[in-house]
Amino acid sequence: MAKTVTSHANSSDNKEQISWRERFAALGNLPAFFRLVWETSPGLFLGNAALRLIRAAIPAATLYVGKLIIDQVVLLTKQSGGTNPDSDIVNYLWWLVAAEFGLAILSTTIGRAVSLMDSLLGDLFANKTSVRLMEHAASLDLEQFEDPTFYDKLERARRQTTGRTVLLSGVFGQVQELISVGFLAAGLAVYNPWLLLLILVAVTPSFIGDNYFNQRSYSLSRSWTPERRELDYLRYVGASDETAKEVKIFGLSDFLIDRFRSLSWDYFQKNRALAISRASWGTLLTGLGTAGYYGAYVWIVMRAIHGQISLGDLTFLAGSFRQVRSSLEGILLQLSSLTQEAVYLQDLFDYFSIQPLIHSPRTARPFPSPIREGFVFENVGFKYANNTERWALRNLSFTLQAGEKLALVGENGAGKTTLVKLLARLYDPTEGRILLDGYDLKEYDLMELRRNIGVIFQDYTRFKMSAGVNIAVGDIDERTNQPRIETSAQRSLADSVIAKLADGYNQQLGRSFNKGVELSGGEWQKVALGRAYMRDAQLIILDEPTAALDARAEYEVFQRFAKLTEGRSSVIISHRFSTVRMADRILVLENGTLLEIGSHYELLEKDGRYAELFGLQARGYQ
Ligand SMILES: Nc1ncnc2c1ncn2[C@@H]1O[C@H](COP(=O)(O)OP(=O)(O)OP(=O)(O)O)[C@@H](O)[C@H]1O
């Protein structure tokens, strides 16, 4: 359900042909893009623009000084046959040569400065956009992360963070070139305006050709986004510490490599066909342009031969003509890649325009402290957006009383984790509502709600960071509060795990980084459990927190958990009935619906599903 607020964002999804109109419309993204660049560094932005402006005037100035030099030399040779030169003219001549030298130095110096600024600005821009990308990702819903089209967008947006400065230098360069051409064209027009027209005609074919191929290459690259993501994924699965174990045991490397090879070969073939046809057409169309240029050159030379223009004029005209042509070609080419870049830019802005659907109300209700009545599920139903055929939960009505310890029981896929995600507002119910102390959960501030609920999921994240940080993520603002981290570790039994680590709480965990140490499954779980104790949550939820713990550790964890959560609400999901029976009440889920609810003894007495499952497990231990 990753909806976007802008309709164009949806309409451009999965579309392979981008029309001309859309490409020019995409140029409308440039102001927003420049705002981003400006915010990155106003100083570099302005400096870059100013230097490029100066540089724009240099080509015409250089050519004109060149013309003056040649005319002076011709004058000198005519006057005296080169023997007794007029010293004023000679002085003037040397001044001109010095001026041309100065212009050449200025041009290369400014050129270097501009590329330096481009690259600095580029790096800063890439960093800034990456940060914005992460910030935006943090604001989005879990559900949006489960949508493949969202991932395609995210992937395309990620690609925009680097290399977008091509666009920056492109537009700056474009303006610089345009001004250069303006000066040179003015010079040409003084002699013959038709020359300008001839140039335009000569560069048009290659411009049209390039545009056509740019569009095709964007379409190809866009339509291959899911495959490119798959390629990235295969590369990761094929070579990562997390998968290496299974890849080896199951002998998966050939399977993965074959899949990678065939997919990447298909992509290469498609790209190659396009590249070859682009190169062939490009050669032909540029040839036409070159023919036009030499046609005009012949005309200029003829006029010089007939004495209609001076030798200086000849060099100025020929030089200007050559430069205007190549600059115009450059401008038109840039225009085509500029519209191209602007279309890519659309992906970045499309991603930024995705809005979360779960957010806090404008005026939020203060979060109850302490919770007085508890959470009430009123006929709650929930469907995952990517599986709308099936209700993951349906017709769910029950109360989680303040201070109550509730256990959730049910077979795999019964909906236990889903229920917990609804409690933490990672999703909103599809139907029905959840009340907290009489008011809909949606009326409370989202951050406050999450701050008051601590959840440790069964698929908790093993952060490849220090042991201390792995506990502190439970309340990251307290990451420097070492006593709190250590108390949490004691409560979750992680302290004995950490005591064995060479660097203690500073020990890097996971093998991806230097000196990283890997923990066993149960050890990781103890560390992750510590997160639950970091925050002062009013409701603590443990989703199969002890599955990897040995029997003694599990018993101990629950003894402590019961004591530490006294007076607070808790929800425990477990398949172990020795754990479950400690809860005040047990809720049995089946296919997303509530089958039974009651205390251990009530449910045994009822002799329903709970009693059956309990009996099954108890017999297993006899
Ligand atoms: N992100 C998701 N997208 C689509 N369907 C999902 C998603 N997560 C879970 N489901 C489906 O919802 C149903 C309930 O899943 P849930 O994870 O709540 O089960 P559970 O009772 O916690 O199972 P387990 O004991 O295996 O952890 C399952 O059929 C599952 O396939």
Every domain of the chain and the residues it spans:
22-226+261-353, 374-620
pLDDT of residue 621: 58
* Cα 565 to Cα 337: distance, rounded to the nearest angstrom: 62
Q: Which atom of ligand 1 is nearest to the CA of 421?
A: 18
From the CB of 571, is ligand 1 less than 6 Å away? no
| C-beta separation of 460 from 526 below 8 A | no
Order the strands of the 374-382 sheet from edge to edge: 393-401, 374-382, 431-436, 439-440
- Interface ipTM: 0.96
* Cα 123 to Cα 162: distance, rounded to the nearest angstrom: 8
From the CB of 413, is ligand 1 less than 6 Å away? yes
Instruction: State in Å: Cα 356 to ligand 1 middle.
Output: 22
The residue ranges of DSSP E strands in 372-449, in sequence order, are: 374-382, 393-401, 405-410, 431-436, 439-440
* Cα 478 to Cα 474: distance, rounded to the nearest angstrom: 9
Q: Is 351 exposed, middle or buried (0-12, 13-18, 19+ CB in 10 A)?
A: buried
Burial of 439-452, coded b for 16+ CB within 10 Å and e otherwise, reads eebbebbbeebbbb
Residue from 141, 146, 416, 588 to probe ligand 1 pocket by mutation (most atoms less than 8 Å from CB): 416
CATH code of domain 374-620: 3.40.50.300
Instruction: State in Å: Cα 447 to ligand 1 middle.
Output: 25
Instruction: State in Å: Cα 505 to ligand 1 middle.
Output: 34
C-alpha distances (whole Å) from 417 to each of 219, 248, 465, 546, 596 are: 40, 31, 26, 15, 17
* Cα 473 to Cα 491: distance, rounded to the nearest angstrom: 16
Residue from 1, 142, 382, 384 to probe ligand 1 pocket by mutation (most atoms less than 8 Å from CB): 384
439-440/431-436 β-pairing: antiparallel
* Cα 30 to Cα 25: distance, rounded to the nearest angstrom: 10
Q: Which atom of ligand 1 is nearest to the CA of 458?
A: 27
| C-beta separation of 81 from 317 below 8 A | no
From the CB of 384, is ligand 1 less than 6 Å away? yes
Tokens of 146: 């489960």
Q: Which atom of ligand 1 is nearest to the CA of 575?
A: 25
Secondary element (H or E) of residue 50: helix 42-80
Torsion of CA 130, 133, 137, 140, to 10 degrees: 170
| pTM of the shown model | 0.71
Find, among 346, 303, 479, the residue nearest to 13 by Cα: 346
Which parts of the chain sit beneath pLDDT 50?
Answer: 1-16
* Cα 530 to Cα 29: distance, rounded to the nearest angstrom: 47
From the CB of 417, is ligand 1 less than 6 Å away? yes
Instruction: State in Å: Cα 551 to ligand 1 middle.
Output: 26
Contacts with 595 (C-beta within 8 Å, 6 or more apart), sequence order: 410, 588, 589, 608, 609
pLDDT of residue 245: 73
Beta bridge partners of 436: 375, 439
Residue from 417, 594, 609 to probe ligand 1 pocket by mutation (most atoms less than 8 Å from CB): 417
Find, among 352, 350, 349, 421, the residue nearest to 385 by Cα: 421
pLDDT of residue 18: 59
Taking CA atoms only, the protein residue closest to ligand 1 atom 12 is 392
Q: What share of the chain is helix, strand, coil (3-state, %, to 5)?
A: 65, 10, 25
Beta bridge partners of 586: 407, 598
pLDDT of residue 15: 46
Q: Which atom of ligand 1 is nearest to the CA of 414?
A: 21
Find, among 398, 312, 416, 411, the residue nearest to 66 by Cα: 312
pLDDT of residue 3: 36
Instruction: State in Å: Cα 386 to ligand 1 middle.
Output: 12
Handedness of CA 399, 611, 456, 406 (dihedral sign): positive
Taking CA atoms only, the protein residue closest to ligand 1 atom 30 is 413
Instruction: State in Å: Cα 411 to ligand 1 middle.
Output: 11
Residue from 145, 151, 382, 387 to probe ligand 1 pocket by mutation (most atoms less than 8 Å from CB): 387
Q: Which atom of ligand 1 is nearest to the CA of 592?
A: 14
Secondary element (H or E) of residue 575: none
Q: Is 203 exposed, middle or buried (0-12, 13-18, 19+ CB in 10 A)?
A: buried
Class of the CATH-defined domain 22-226+261-353? mainly alpha
Instruction: State in Å: Cα 417 to ligand 1 middle.
Output: 7
Taking CA atoms only, the protein residue closest to ligand 1 atom 24 is 412
Instruction: State in Å: Cα 239 to ligand 1 middle.
Output: 29
Check whether the bond before 370 is cis (ω within 30° of 0).
yes
